[in-house]
Chains A and B, each alone.
Chain A
Amino acid sequence: MAHGPSTMPAHGLPAAGRAPSLRRWDGLGYVLPAFLLLAFFFVLPVVALLLRSVLEPTPGLENFAKLLTTPTYAQVFLNTFTVAGVVTLASLLAGFPVAWLLAVLPGRWAAFLFGVILLSMWTNLLARTYAWMVLLQRTGVINRALMDVGLIDAPLPLIRNLAGVTIGMTYIMLPFVILPLHATLRAIDPAVLQAASLCGANRWQAFRRVLLPLSLPGVAAGSLMVFVMSLGYFVTPALLGGASTMMLAELIAQLVQSLLDWGMGGAAAFVLLVVTLALYALQVRFLGSGRMTAGGAG
């Protein structure tokens, strides 16, 4: 095991005189504190939680059987995947033109738009969710405005249902699809599109056959990231949703905290974990690991 800084091969003096076996482990001591922290307070508790899913109340797979056959839980899975899917699609449709605009705007305006996106992204999640709770409530600004202009007669139910969750989460996820898409669009050489136009392509053909295909890695990276993040979201669904719109993360919290059913909680956590890791593996496999950036906690 390596130890203090003086055994690092890094200090520049030729390491020729040193035994190779010792050099092989150089630097390991440096990563040890972080490794031990994660081993004890990350890997150990997560593995213990997952084990409880097959050990409690009796050893076996009955928790998973219950999870997959009970209609209440099926509804939770349906909610989770529906919201994640709709949010991903909505963020992508709303975010693509913005990413495109960011890639072509003159510097000063692009910087301003970036500022707005980052401000929204960095603002506390609870603060942003609170904003939507107030905006979407029965007597909220949105309902009042719609009634004032005569579009509706009675307030729309925009909160405590899937509509509320979807609006709130799209708001939160938009930056996570705009940023990777922008990076991809930015990297496309404008000359490629000039070439398309010289070859006789009109705007639509240039978009459809050149720009869109070239932007697909960014589209895939952004949407996979938003989808994965949405699957495990907790705060926004809990505050903007209702009893019938429960999502997987809330279910896990409730099973453990209110019902003290650690076996079922572990099983639900196991499912969420497996789906998340599988989608992440897909991302790494097809898009390279560099694209998955900050997840953000929700």
Chain B
Amino acid sequence: MLLTFERMGALRWILVLWGVLVAAFLLLPVLFIVALSFGSSRWLQFPPPAWTLRWYQELLADPRWLDSILTSFKVAALVTVASVLLGLLAAFGLVRGRFPGREVLRAFFLTPMILPVVVLAVALYALFLRVGLNGTLAGFVIGHLILALPFSIISITGALEGFDKAIEDAAVVCGAHPFEAKLRVTLPALKLGLFGAAVFSFLVSWDEVIVAIFMASPTLQTFPVRIWGVLRQDLSPVIAAASSLLVLLTLVLMAAAALVRRGSRR
């Protein structure tokens, strides 16, 4: 009755109306920013008096913006590789290992996810001030890796738990070296989990701003840190252009994820 759409009577239209309102609430600000990024008004008039690509030109002509985008890509790429590798190893240990305290360790690996990021950011900042890692690429990568690793471990342990080890054993019985069996039988079967780990790790690093604010120096900052810095000054339409590029990236990644999911179902 209350969980069957056709039999809910007038109630279902109330729910639908509410759903439309909330969907608009969630969607309109994002569309609004994209529209503003093409608007000609410096003062973010809406609807824009005319359309222009000026803010994108300003964004892409400014070496400070380009440098920050490049830094973000470098950091996110390194974090993705490290996070998937460490996550894969840890997943093998957690799923197949037989040592005591495995469950505790698994919970421990996920704690960076529940801890307020600002605490990690401040703590790392103090440590890195001492060892001279502040304002370095390594500093960004380590900070983001801590935050990305739990996502990697969840994604890959999930895939590994769903993989029937008998298939790997069969390869070994047929004469494959255990390592070869892992590499050529198990790893391909985990590809969806690995892909998920990579996408999440990349996004965690790419979008992360709090640790990055503390890690940044005047000469080395990530894209979000640069946005943050400009936003503290004024609401420049260049930020709308930068935000729209980030929305585009989100859409691309969502589409890629949907395609991979569809491909794997076949």
Contacts and interface: CB of A to CB of B under 8 A. Distances in A.
Interface string B76-117: 000000000011011011101111100001011101111111
A42 B124 CA distance: 8
B207 interface: yes
Given A31-B89, A295-B113, A9 B96 contact: yes
Find the residue from A41, A141, A232, A253 having the highest chain B CB count within 10 A: A41
Interface string A113-156: 10111111011111110111111010101000000000000000
A265 interface: yes
B126 interface: yes
Interface residues of B, number: 105
Contacts of B214: 253, 257
Given A12-B173, A30-B97, A297-B210, A122 B254 contact: yes
A104 B5 contact: yes
A32 B109 CA distance: 11
A133 B237 CA distance: 12
Interface of A: 2, 4-6, 8-13, 23-35, 37-38, 41-42, 44-46, 48-49, 52, 94-95, 97-98, 100-106, 113, 115-120, 122-128, 130-135, 137, 139, 141, 171, 174-175, 185, 188, 190, 193-194, 196-197, 203, 206-207, 210-211, 228, 231-232, 234-235, 239, 249, 252-253, 256-257, 262, 265, 269, 272-273, 276-277, 280, 289, 292, 294-295, 297-298
B239 to A, nearest CB: 5
B220 interface: no
A111 B100 CA distance: 43
Nearest to B106: A31
B198 interface: no
Contact of A34 (B5, B14, B87): B87
Contact of A35 (B30, B105, B213): B105
B260 interface: no
Find the residue from B4, B99, B227, B244 having the highest chain A CB count within 10 A: B99
B250 A123 contact: yes
A68 to B, nearest CB: 19
Find the residue from B149, B210, B232 having the highest chain A CB count within 10 A: B210
Interface string B55-90: 000000000000000000000000000000011011
Contact of A27 (B93, B111, B179): B93
B39 to A, nearest CB: 11
B149 A124 contact: no
Given A123-B247, A269-B119, A272-B116, 11 more contacts: A9-B98, A11-B182, A31-B97, A41-B142, A98-B18, A104-B12, A113-B23, A135-B29, A171-B25, A194-B1, A253-B121
Given A105-B5, A196-B1, A273 B26 contact: no
Contact of A174 (B26, B146, B232): B26
A82 to B, nearest CB: 18
B105 A31 contact: yes
Contacts of B16: 101
